[in-house]
Structure 1
Amino acid sequence: MKSKPSNSGLLSPVKSQTLDSAVIDALAAYVEEARIEPGDKLPSERMLCERLQVSRPTVREALKRWEALGIVEMRKGSGVYLRKAVGRNIVHVPLVLSRSSNVKDLLHGLQVRRALEGEAAAICAASASADRIATIEKALDRMEAAHAVGNSSEEDWEYHQSIIEATGNPLFTQIVQSMRDLVHQFWENPLQIPNFAEASFPFHRTMFDAIARRDPATARAEALKIIDSVGSEIREAYPGEA
Structure 2
Amino acid sequence: MPTPGFVVIAFAAAVAGGFVRGASGFGGSLVMMPLLSLMTSPKFIVAPVLLLEAFAVLPVLRHFIGRAQWRVVMPICIAAFVALPFGAWALVNADQSLIRRAIGVLVLVFSLALLAGVRHKAQPRVPTSIALGLLSGALLGGTGIGGPPVILYLLSSSAPSVDTRANLMVTVMAMSVAALIVLWMRGAFMIDGPMPLWILAPGYLFGILAGMRLFGLIDERRFRRATLGFLVVVSVVTLAV
Instruction: Report the TM-score range of the alignment, normalised by the length of the smaller protein.
Output: under 0.3
Q: Work out which structure has the larger RCO, using CA pairs closer than 8 Å and 6 or more positions apart in sequence.
A: 2
Structure-2-length-normalised TM-score? 0.27
Structure with bigger gyration radius: 1
More helix by share: 2
